[in-house]
Chain A
């Protein structure tokens, strides 16, 4: 089987697996070099997961319980594209985050910040035909962790995306502009400097809703195909 397309991985984008500043990598990051895997049919395909995994309130994290979630109400929206600029449509986007006080609704998160009974911190949606997604939520708080002395994670929202092919799978974190905690955070700092600002959303006054919610815009770019002998992509 010749002439298959390929999703090349650009250098200088993803963090190295071993990053001493992030302590948990020490026993978890593989030590041996990765082996190249030519993209075959298992890699050119992937799960096409969409609307059947999304409930009616899943895109609005502020209304999933009896009362409204506490905190600064925000809209997080943007487009999912591939490196060639094509929209990635009908693809599942999953998010999770801490509440406004910086506390996750998770048994392993025990630092003394309050839980909000009206906030679970879980969202799901599917991109539209232009690759757009949109969540309503509250701005997550920063929180301490024990990575190093006085370590605090900058406010962030976790994102999980599939795209349509196995190499496009991406789990990442979106940050908020001008956070003074960036400089001491090894998770963001693990990203090569030239690509770091791609994880920082932009405050969007034009899309901010008067008397309602601030808007942060963040576009997500998944791996793109190289030129293919099959001719034009169907999208």
Chain B
């Protein structure tokens, strides 16, 4: 193995990230008017329970068939089954800490090492006071059977699994991110 280059360290996005990373279409995993689209919305809170008013939320997900239009998917890239599907969203948290994206439910995925991963999104939070992004996963509370078989959820202590579940409501599903506290969201080392 040849010598590896030194990885560039992370730094906080700081309080002024919106200058550089605001996208007018940031919320659109799928375009407006997509059949079956819903709002995935939520709030991000700090250790005092206060809303994060200056945060950035990004999400990444498979299409409803569980496919990615990406050359590194070992099953091969495939154009999305939903026209205009981007898979990615980037939105600011508002003064009340809330955010929302327009999306569709991703399909299940084959898991590394065998088995099946339940429908999920990877979600990153960036903010002042976070020297690196924090990453969690959004699963869907109404996918009980798929969630019960998901190897990532199985590796999370049972009493914390509920922090990874989006629940029906708000024109789709809602998901709370607690950066700290008794109900701190499970964050992953990616």
Contact = CB atoms under 8 A, between A and B. Distances in A.
Interface of A: 1-2, 4-5, 9-10, 13-17, 19, 22, 24-32, 34-49, 53, 81-85, 94-96, 104-106, 108-109, 120-123, 158, 160, 164-167, 169-173, 187-188, 190-192, 195-196, 198-199, 220-224, 227, 230, 234
7 contacts: A5-B72, A10-B4, A15-B132, A41-B73, A42-B61, A96-B19, A191-B11
A32 B54 contact: no
Per DSSP, chain A at the interface is: loop
Interface residues of B, number: 75
Per DSSP, chain B at the interface is: loop
A42 B70 CA distance: 10
Contacts of B121: 42
B72 A164 contact: yes
Contact of B128 (A4, A24, A165): A24
A84 B2 contact: yes
B27 interface: no
Contacts of B36: none
A171 B11 contact: yes
B117 interface: yes
| Closest A-B pairs by Cβ, 6 of them | A96-B20, A24-B129, A28-B129, A47-B88, A37-B188, A15-B131
Contact of A37 (B48, B52, B60, B190): B190
Which of B10, B47, B184 is packed against the most chain A CB atoms within 10 Å? B10
Given A14-B131, A30-B187, A109-B16, A224 B72 contact: no
Given A47-B86, A106-B19, A160-B20, A83 B131 contact: no
Contacts of B122: 42-43, 166
A224 B5 CA distance: 9
Contacts of A9: 189-190
A1 B127 CA distance: 35
A41 B11 contact: no
B155 to A, nearest CB: 7
Given A28-B127, A170-B10, 8 more contacts: A30-B179, A40-B109, A41-B110, A45-B72, A83-B5, A96-B21, A106-B19, A199-B9
